[in-house]
Structure 1
Amino acid sequence: MFKDPEGNKNWTTMKIVAITVALALLFGGVAGAGFQTAKYIAGRIIPDSSPGTDQNDDSDGITEEDVEKIIETGDGNTVTVTDVSSVVKAVMPSVVSIKNTTTVTEQYRWGPGRTYESQSAGSGIIIGKNDSELLVVTNNHVIEGVDSMSVTFIDEQSYEALLKGADPNHDLAVIAIPLSGISESTLNQIKIAELGDSDKLIVGETAIAIGNALGYGQSVTAGVISALHREVTVNNVTFALIQTDAAINPGNSGGALLNIRGEVIGINAVKFSSSDVEGMGYAIPISTAIPVIDELELQETKVKVAEAEQGYLAIQTVDVTAEIAATYNIPMGVFVAAVENDSLAEDAGIQKGDIITSIDGNSITTKDRLDDKLEYYKAGTEVVLTIQRAADNVYEEIAVKVTLDEKPAN
């Protein structure tokens, strides 16, 4: 859950709006050493230059003169603008399209089921690089559970991407593209995004959304910041988001919400779904996202293991949803209903009644998310589970190291 932005003393008086939303993406059934990325400088985020260009080359950037010309009113105030072409030109090389492939299996009551591939689309923002990878941030819901991902840059060239880290509680994920596989031509055309400060946003100022709407490729919409700190609940998780009337359409998830200076102020996430409402889109504030991104980009890049080699956690589980957690006053997570006899899970000390909340530091809120994470581990691998265990009617957090079993033959 998002925390109150530091220093916002009006938060407790902010009107809470709890609404039903639809994830804004095109889903069928539904992401090191020598790190060089955006750094905190004088309270502002100043990113590296394009991975393949001269840092002093800002011919396509936004100059102070451009900004003053765009927002000049004569009385020192800013105004909403309609021509954002200079901003778009400067930032478009920092936004990517994401295409995913997922294997879907349908079971029929009568006769055999069927298996087919489903494709989905989303967006992402180039936020940094390390010695060997280009790093892109997107929404967790864009890449969760997919079998493969590809990223398309501004030059229409596509490259395979791998998951680096994901945090479903903040709906954020970082994916990585090996630098060795990206052509020099592409490197010369892309840029690392400049991250702004969403804590300084003012309701009514210009907002620009860039993303892969409907999976057709990058498109642009513009509007204003409609509200700040809006509480929105999606899949039992409550987020404090930026509200904008800049259209956020399916496929825009993970794309950039920008201010008039071309700085990323939010990561597009959801839109209100109703025939009675227009112009209600939401974005994760960048100042909230940055600490999460900083942690995710330092994780080891993950590669899915062949199904026959995947590890197995020999337990039976039940989801503890927000509703169940509130009703019975227990933590959200994955409830252990049973532990298989003579298993490595039993040897590790996992007990019936435990509630699993993370694996190797990655948050777990459902059985499906636990199963998804296990796809990256081979049998025989040791993992660390964060568990809430009841003792004298009080839950205490403990860490349990467990070696994964081999998957049963059936």
Structure 2
Amino acid sequence: MRNMKKGTKFVATALAFGVLASTAFQGSNYLYHKANGGTVTATDKAELNIANAVSSNASNSGSSDTESAGSVSAIAQAAMPSLVAITNKSVREMQSMFGQSQAYESESSGSGIIIGKTDTELLMVTNNHVVSGAQDLSMGFVDESVAEATVKGTDADHDIAVIAVKLSDLSEDTLSAIKVIEIGSSSDLEVGEQVVAIGNALGYGQSVTTGIVSALNREVTIDNTTNTLIQTDAAINPGNSGGALLNMSGQLVGINSAKYSDTTVEGMGYAIPVDDVVDIIENLMNRQVRTEKAAEGQQGYLGVSGQDVTSEVAQAYDMPKGVYITTVESGSAAEQAGLQKGDIITKFDGTSVSALSELREQISYYKAGEQVEITYNTQENGAYVEKTATVTLGEKQTTETKTEMRR
């Protein structure tokens, strides 16, 4: 697959576009009990529809889809069946000035792109911040049908998530109306080349904008994570996040992200280059999910207390987003794996973690004795360094258990 690009910092000003990545809320079991990994059988393996840009353009030059080579309207018409509108219902918990917390429901909108299909699922890619904190996710398709969705997996560092809808939840009419997008090469883009952006702008439904590639390899840093992006003057509005940036052959070359857009400058939108994330997308597409919690008394236990490192905190104190460990229990699984106070957990078993409640929810689907990989950041010489640890989950000790052990 294609190599991912690396970058250094560029200050971006917009943290509050689309669905905020900082909306990592209490009670996010719907999202994370369906986002833990494993292996899949060959018959159910999903693969991206990656096009050879040169041969595809030549062989399809007479087709209706590639009338799009000179027509924005034809590109839009061909691509619409591959776009979905996402509605995210979540619960947000706020601290009052008196130290009390209050939970309230919120609803936000985003976009997604149909990138694959297995024997049982239809798969879409979107931005991680579009689905962060979700308790309910629903997809709106081109034929105006709606279906519930679950999250296969997320990668917060690259702002990528893959979501799934069961084929059994879709009618024959819907299945015949939709299609998997064709993926092109973002590496073939040139500055000044025309592109088309499609997404669920402002939650009003799919809309189309067009412009040019303003810059390539633009380094943008948010939440202390730098990504190398495509800059375009095609409008990328709130709700466009997770939508498609298409070349003039109608192929997907970027995933729009309003999160990175600049509110102070007109005509400065960003998209994640598809070449940089194809490996990540394929890995997330082929994750198996856990659908049942471990039985009471058998659930795994990590043995840490912590605080959420939100987007605002991460930016203010130059810290990675995740769960800041405030205490590590003596003899716990965390201590045995080398985790310490001050470390910041960012992933559990390959899935991004942005809140303590999410970490606990994920652990509840694992039994004591199971091994999982935890990604965390620790300070070395005044800077955070990412590390991984293999943790054998322990068993939470009740008061009765502790009393028995002391006898």
- Give the TM-score band, short-chain normalised: 0.7 to 0.9
Q: CA deviation at 1:398?
A: 3.4
1:376 and 1:100 map into 2 onto residues whose CA distance is 19
1:392 and 1:235 map into 2 onto residues whose CA distance is 20
Q: CA deviation at 1:299?
A: 1.2
Q: Choose which of 114, 117, 139 in structure 2 pairs with 1:151.
A: 139
Kept in 1: contact 2:53–2:184 (CA 8 A): no
Structure 1 letter corresponding to 2:393:
V
In structure 2, what is the equivalent of residue 263 of structure 1?
A: 251
Output one character per residue of 1:106-152: Cα deviation in whole Å (capped at 9) or x when no partner: 44446976433210110000000112111000000000111110111
SS of residue paired to 1:375 = helix
Output one character per residue of 1:213-263: Cα deviation in whole Å (capped at 9) or x when no partner: 111111111111111111111122111100111111100000000111110
Q: Choose which of 394, 399, 402 in structure 1 pairs with 2:390.
A: 399
In structure 1, what is the equivalent of residue 179 of structure 2?
A: 191
In structure 1, what is the equivalent of residue 305 of structure 2?
A: 316
Structure 1 residues 257 and 407: CA distance shift in structure 2, 3 A: farther
Q: Which moved more, 1:26-35 or 1:99-108?
A: 26-35
In structure 2, what is the equivalent of residue 38 of structure 1?
A: 48
In structure 2, what is the equivalent of residue 52 of structure 1?
A: none
In structure 1, what is the equivalent of residue 212 of structure 2?
A: 224
Output one character per residue of 1:43-76: Cα deviation in whole Å (capped at 9) or x when no partner: 8898xxxxxxxxxx9998423xx256x2xxxxxx
Kept in 2: contact 1:348–1:402 (CA 8 A): no
Q: Which has the higher contact order (CA 8 A, sep 6+)?
A: 2
2:235 and 2:380 map into 1 onto residues whose CA distance is 49
In structure 2, what is the equivalent of residue 53 of structure 1?
A: none
Q: Choose which of 357, 362, 371 in structure 1 pairs with 2:351.
A: 362
Kept in 2: contact 1:24–1:252 (CA 8 A): no
In structure 2, what is the equivalent of residue 165 of structure 1?
A: 153
Kept in 2: contact 1:152–1:158 (CA 8 A): yes
Q: Choose which of 320, 328, 340 in structure 2 pairs with 1:339.
A: 328
In structure 2, what is the equivalent of residue 384 of structure 1?
A: 373
Structure 1 residues 273 and 67: CA distance shift in structure 2, 3 A: closer
Kept in 2: contact 1:164–1:302 (CA 8 A): no
Kept in 2: contact 1:163–1:302 (CA 8 A): no
Gaps of 5+ in 2: 24-30, 32-39, 400-407
Q: CA deviation at 1:342?
A: 6.5
Q: Choose which of 62, 72, 89 in structure 1 pairs with 2:65.
A: 62
In structure 2, what is the equivalent of residue 50 of structure 1?
A: none
Structure 1 residues 59 and 147: CA distance shift in structure 2, 3 A: farther
SS of residue paired to 1:97 = strand
SS of residue paired to 2:158 = coil
Structure 2 letter corresponding to 1:399:
T
SS of residue paired to 2:249 = coil
Q: CA deviation at 1:362?
A: 2.5
2:361 and 2:88 map into 1 onto residues whose CA distance is 17
Q: CA deviation at 1:205?
A: 1.1
1:103-182 to 2 correspondences below 5 Å: 103-109=91-97, 114-182=102-170
Structure 2 letter corresponding to 1:297:
M
Structure 1 residues 392 and 195: CA distance shift in structure 2, 3 A: closer
Structure 1 residues 392 and 223: CA distance shift in structure 2, 3 A: closer
Kept in 2: contact 1:304–1:376 (CA 8 A): no
Alignment TM-score, normalising by the size of structure 1: 0.76
Gaps of 5+ in 1: 47-56, 71-82
Kept in 2: contact 1:344–1:405 (CA 8 A): no
Output one character per residue of 1:281-328: Cα deviation in whole Å (capped at 9) or x when no partner: 00000111211101111112355869x9986643123559578678xx
Alignment TM-score, normalising by the size of structure 2: 0.76
Q: CA deviation at 1:404?
A: 6.0
Structure 1 residues 122 and 351: CA distance shift in structure 2, 3 A: same
Kept in 2: contact 1:25–1:142 (CA 8 A): yes
1:17 and 1:347 map into 2 onto residues whose CA distance is 38
Structure 1 residues 380 and 96: CA distance shift in structure 2, 3 A: closer
Number of corresponding residues: 366
Output one character per residue of 1:188-222: Cα deviation in whole Å (capped at 9) or x when no partner: 00000000100000111111111011111111111
Would you tell me which structure has more helix in proportion to its own residues? Answer: 2
Q: CA deviation at 1:168?
A: 0.3
SS of residue paired to 1:191 = coil
Structure 1 residues 380 and 403: CA distance shift in structure 2, 3 A: farther
Structure 1 residues 36 and 113: CA distance shift in structure 2, 3 A: closer
Structure 1 letter corresponding to 2:198:
I
In structure 2, what is the equivalent of residue 18 of structure 1?
A: 11
Cα root mean square deviation, aligned:
3.9
Residue 285 of structure 2 is aligned to residue 297 of structure 1: yes
1:173 and 1:28 map into 2 onto residues whose CA distance is 12
2:104 and 2:267 map into 1 onto residues whose CA distance is 35
SS of residue paired to 1:169 = helix
1:116 and 1:155 map into 2 onto residues whose CA distance is 32
2:282 and 2:52 map into 1 onto residues whose CA distance is 18
